[in-house]
Structure formats: C-alpha cells, structure tokens
Amino acid sequence: MKTARVAFAGAIHTATPHAQGLQLADGRVLAEDQVVWLPPFELGTIIALGLNYADHVKELAKELTVTAKDEPLVFLKGPGSVVGHRGVTRRPQDAQFMHYECELAVIIGRTARRVKAADALAHVAGYTVCNDYAVRDYLENWYRPNLRVKNRDGGTVLGPWFVPAADVPDPHDLKLRTLVNGELKQQGHTGNMVNDIPALIEYLSEFMTLQAGDVILTGTPEGVVNVNAGDEVVCEIDGIGRLVNTLVADAPTGDTA
Amino acid sequence: MTLPLLDFAFAPYRLSGVVYGCLLNHRPALAALGEAVNAAPYKAAPKAPVLYVKPRNTLAGDGATVCVPADATELELGAALGLVIGRTACRVSEAQALSHVAGCTIVADISVPHASFYRPSVRLKARDGFCPIGPRVAPIAQPDAVAVRVWVDGALVHETTTGDRLRGAARLLADVSAFMTLAPGDVLMLGVSAGAPRVRAGQRAEIEMAGIGRLHMQFAAEEPRA
C-alpha cells in the first residue's frame, strides 16, 4: 500500500491513496490540494548519482571531461534541500540555466554493509519520485557537482508516495517522464541506468553502511531544459507517482539585521 | 535520528547529524596548489565555498576507532573547527552570522589521501567512521583564532590555528546560508589547514583545540572480508 506523510489540521498524518485524493489513517478523505505534502519517509543520507543514464551522458558530452567511468559518479546532499509534493522551489533570479531531473528514488529499509548485488534488493524498503534540480550557472570544477548547484534549499523534491518494494515487481522496467506546463520534455526508462540499483547498493555498501531511511537518487535520462519562475514541473514514474513542483522567483528577503 | 556518541548536552538541541566540510578555505592550502588552480580541470580558482557532506555513517564520538581500508596505506587526518548551529541560519548577514552559532566542536575530517579536487569519489571521504566529532561543544568568542594541535602516538605533529581563512567563520556561514539553510545541531566546518598529518593503522591521534578540549581516536586495519 502506498503511503504519504501530510500535514493537515495541525497534525502530521499518514495517508493512503483514495479516488478523491487521499485518505488519512482516521478515515477522513481529502482532496490533494487540501493538505501539505511532506517527504513520504524520514530521510537519512541522501545519495545522488550523476550521469547514470547512457542517453544523458551523451546529451552532456560537450561539457564533460570524462565520458566513461568505471566508478559510479556519486555525490551527497543535505536534508535541508528537501521539499514535498506540490511544494515550491525558488529559482535564483540571475540564473540562465536551471533544470529539473526526474529520478527514481530508492529508499533503504534494512542496514546494508558489504552487500552483494545479488542480495541487494532485499535491503530496499521502497521507492518514490525525485526531482533533483540543478542550477548549472553555478557549476565550478571543485568537488563537482558543487553544492551551490545541487544542494540548494528546495532543490530536492520528493514524493508524493512511498511505494513499498513489494508493489514494484521490476524497478528497472519503469517509464519516467517530465512535463513542463503540461508539455512533455523528458522521457526515459529505468532499464537504461548505467549502474542499476543492485550494482549501486553493492558499490556504496562496500565503504559506507547504508541505513533505513537513506535514499539513493538513481540519476536522470536525457531531456533536461531550462525552467522559469511560474513553471509547473511534473516528474512522473509509472506505478510510482506523479510529483508536482512549481518554481517561484527568488525575491530578496530583505534586511535580516 | 539518534547519535548516542554525539549526544552532547548543549542548548538548545543535540547534534542533528548533518555535517558539512569546507575545502581549501585555509589560504596556504589554496596557495599550495599554485598555478594549478587556473589549469585544467579546474580552470579557475574556486568562487563559492568548496563544500562537501560528511554523511551519518561517517560520524563517531570521542575515543573512536577509525578503520584504515585495505587499499590505503595512510589516511589524512584533517583537524577542523566545527561551527555548531544553534539557531536556524538562512541568508544570514556576516554581521549576524555568529549569533546563529551555539558553539564550536572539534571535527576530525578524515580522508583517503587524494590529489585531485575536481570530482573525487565519495569513497575517499564518506567511509564509515571517517568523521569523529567531540568531545564537547563549547562557546568560542573568536572562532577564527583558535590554536590547533595534533598529536600522533604522543608526538606533536601539526600545529596551526583556525585563522588565515579565505572566509572566516562569519563570512563562511553567510555565504553558505545564502543558498542552503542550516538547522540547529548542524555542523559547518571551517576547513582544515594545509599540511594535515598522515596516520596509519596501529596509531593513535589526538586533536586539541584551545577552549574546547581534546578529541581522541585510534586507527586500525579494516577487518578482512568474510
């Protein structure tokens, strides 16, 4: 059963899907826009993959200094960057190129240390959708991808649902896509990952113990384009969820002194 | 999340487990790279703070044993002052920044030594146990002028201060919080000094920072594969 965490009427609730939107554990049925959607699970370490779809590697080839690597390109993110479904994300006013990245998020459910690929999926609790924004204007060649590009407040959108692994027969047979203001901009298939989920868990758990709540953002396929303030960005993975985010202008906050 | 070893009592919260490092903030550390900063792959000196995450699997307390992986002969032991956030810091001004800091602690920022800062593998900095923190959080009036000493097997091997930074504590917190909010209990490192010592399995080390105390650790060979 899919579950969500939502804020409603002064409390945080677990919710499940309902024909009219969602249903709280106490039985109340609500429309999607009546609640505040939180990330659907309690987050631990956020592990993200760069260049994990062959088609996206090709798309970025002009600016890449490496084309093929044996080691997965991993970077880490902080929890402060996370917002839920139907959240808003600030777009820096001076940015020329800010893009979404639709990704399958893999949620660890059981401690994984030195796990072999063949056993890896037993450590997965479930899945959700992630939109892992990047502001490419700020890319620098020091500890790429630097946090000013990839770890901005509101830049990691997660949700809407936590989907238990048992409900996903094959996580490498899912279509994913991104729509901007209703227009299809990005399409891919999770079967095209360079390093698949078992390989990633084997690689990571060799040097870092994965714990329940850690999440692996498995990378994005080709088709990333600039998005602007006011745009509605929908990242969708069949069987997992439809994650909506809206960009807003990053107005100065005024003098805090 | 529970981090029993890091459960220091300090107002108003315990550590959150979120720890950010800052690389090449020590002027001599950046200067040591010389003209290489302008050559490929960097092509220019860093503009924004060079930041990285030390994830929760790296965190350990005072007295921890740190494993030296089988494929590394030595580890680099960075001694960094950790600014512990006491009040949510979002887009703070340099003038106000330090009022968001609850106190300071000692962070042992351990890495497998590596020469390239372009896109180093997280495996070099994010291994289990690679971030001992402690032994306490102390109020520090001038975080940019703290004496730092590192001992290995009882011998003083590194003596430096938290000064001579590209960005001092207040400037760093202002520049970081311009795009990422830090929450109470988060730790932001001021960056290690040039010349960080190397350690091997079988050695023990202590980092001392004036006004905070000493953080102890020892190094052991990684357990063999099952």
Dump pLDDT digits (tens) for A150-184.
Answer: 999 999 999 999 999 999 999 999 999 999 999 99
Residue A66 has pLDDT above 90, yes or no: no
Q: What is the pLDDT of residue B226?
A: 64
Q: Which helix (H) or strand (E) holds B81?
A: strand B75-85
| Inter-chain residue contact B128 with A207, CB threshold 8 Å | yes
Biggest distance spanned by C-alpha atoms of chain B: 54
On whether any CB of chain B is under 8 Å from the CB of A69, the answer is no
| Inter-chain residue contact B52 with A140, CB threshold 8 Å | no
On whether any CB of chain A is under 8 Å from the CB of B60, the answer is no
Nearest to A207 among B53, B56, B127 (CB): B127
* Nearest-CA distance A153 → chain B (Å): 5
**Cα A52 → chain centroid:** 14
From chain B, pick out residues whose CB is under 8 angstroms from the CB of A47: 55, 122
Q: Where are the beta strands (DSSP E) in B128-176?
A: 131-138, 147-152, 155-161
How is residue B194 annotated by DSSP? S
Asked if residues B77 and B205 have their Cβ atoms less than 8 Å apart, the reply is yes
From chain B, pick out residues whose CB is under 8 angstroms from the CB of A211: 56-57
From chain B, pick out residues whose CB is under 8 angstroms from the CB of A44: 1, 56
From chain B, pick out residues whose CB is under 8 angstroms from the CB of A66: 119
In chain A, where the domains are located: 1-38, 39-249
> Binning pLDDT at 50, 70 and 90, where does residue B14 land?
confident
CATH fold of the domain at A39-249: Fumarylacetoacetate hydrolase; domain 2 (3.90.850)
When mean pLDDT is compared across A54-58, A61-65, B44-48, B143-147, the lowest value belongs to A61-65
Q: What is the pLDDT of residue A63?
A: 61
Asked if residues B83 and B187 have their Cβ atoms less than 8 Å apart, the reply is yes
- The token pair that represents B73 in the structure block: 């002969």
CA distance B108 to B77: 6
SS (H, E, C) chain A: CCEEEEEECCEEEEEEEECCEEEECCCCEECHHHCEEECCCCCCCEEEEECCEHHHHHHCHHHCCCCCCCCCEEEEECHHHEECCCEEEEECCCCCCEECCEEEEEEECCCECCCCHHHHHHHEEEEEEEEECEEHHHCCCCCCCCHHHHCCCCCEEEEEEEEEHHHCCCCCCCEEEEEECCEEEEEEEHHHECCCHHHHHHHHHHHCCECCCCEEECCCCCCCCECCCCCEEEEEECCCEEEEEEEEECCCCCCCC
Average confidence score pLDDT of chain B = 92
Q: State what percent of residues in chain B have pLDDT above 70.
A: 94
Residue A61 has pLDDT above 70, yes or no: no
Mean pLDDT of A4-31: 97
Size of interface A-B (CB pairs under 8 A): 119
On whether any CB of chain A is under 8 Å from the CB of B13, the answer is no
List, for residues B16-64, the tens digit of each pLDDT value.
889 999 999 999 999 999 999 999 999 999 999 999 999 999 999 999 9
Instruction: Name the closest residue on chain A to residue B92, using Cα atoms.
Output: A256
Instruction: Name the closest residue on chain A to residue B71, using Cα atoms.
Output: A207
Higher pLDDT: A54 or A161? It is A161
List, for residues A202-257, the tens digit of each pLDDT value.
999 999 999 999 999 999 999 999 999 999 999 999 999 999 999 999 876 554 44
Beta bridge partner(s), residue B19: B54, B187
| Inter-chain residue contact B119 with A143, CB threshold 8 Å | yes
Residue A65 has pLDDT above 60, yes or no: no
Q: Hey, is B99 helix, strand or coil?
A: helix
| Inter-chain residue contact A140 with B57, CB threshold 8 Å | no
On whether any CB of chain A is under 8 Å from the CB of B3, the answer is no
Residue A69 has pLDDT above 90, yes or no: no
What's the ipTM? 0.93
Q: What is the pLDDT of residue B2?
A: 40
On whether any CB of chain B is under 8 Å from the CB of A91, the answer is no
> Binning pLDDT at 50, 70 and 90, where does residue A140 land?
very high
List, for residues A79-130, the tens digit of each pLDDT value.
999 999 999 999 999 999 999 999 999 999 999 999 999 999 999 999 999 9
Would you call the peptide bond into A160 cis, given omega within 30 degrees of 0 as the criterion? yes
| Inter-chain residue contact A208 with B182, CB threshold 8 Å | no
CA distance A145 to A73: 10
> Binning pLDDT at 50, 70 and 90, where does residue B4 land?
very low
When mean pLDDT is compared across A60-69, B13-22, B80-89, B94-103, the lowest value belongs to A60-69
Residue B5 has pLDDT above 50, yes or no: no
pTM reported for the whole predicted model: 0.94
- The token pair that represents A83 in the structure block: 């917002």
CATH fold of the domain at B4-221: Fumarylacetoacetate hydrolase; domain 2 (3.90.850)
* Nearest-CA distance A31 → chain B (Å): 31
Asked if residues A44 and A211 have their Cβ atoms less than 8 Å apart, the reply is yes
| Inter-chain residue contact A78 with B41, CB threshold 8 Å | no
Residue B8 has pLDDT above 80, yes or no: no
| Inter-chain residue contact B52 with A143, CB threshold 8 Å | yes
Asked if residues A81 and A154 have their Cβ atoms less than 8 Å apart, the reply is yes
Q: What is the pLDDT of residue A54?
A: 83
CA distance A172 to A169: 9
Nearest residue to A174 via CA among A156, A152, A192, A162:
A192
Q: What is the pLDDT of residue A62?
A: 63
On whether any CB of chain A is under 8 Å from the CB of B51, the answer is yes
> Which class is domain A1-38?
mainly beta
Would you call the peptide bond into A171 cis, given omega within 30 degrees of 0 as the criterion? no
Residue B12 has pLDDT above 80, yes or no: no
| Inter-chain residue contact B57 with A45, CB threshold 8 Å | yes
Distances in whole angstroms, Cα of residue B215 to Cα of each of A119, B104, B107, B165, B218: 38, 13, 8, 22, 10
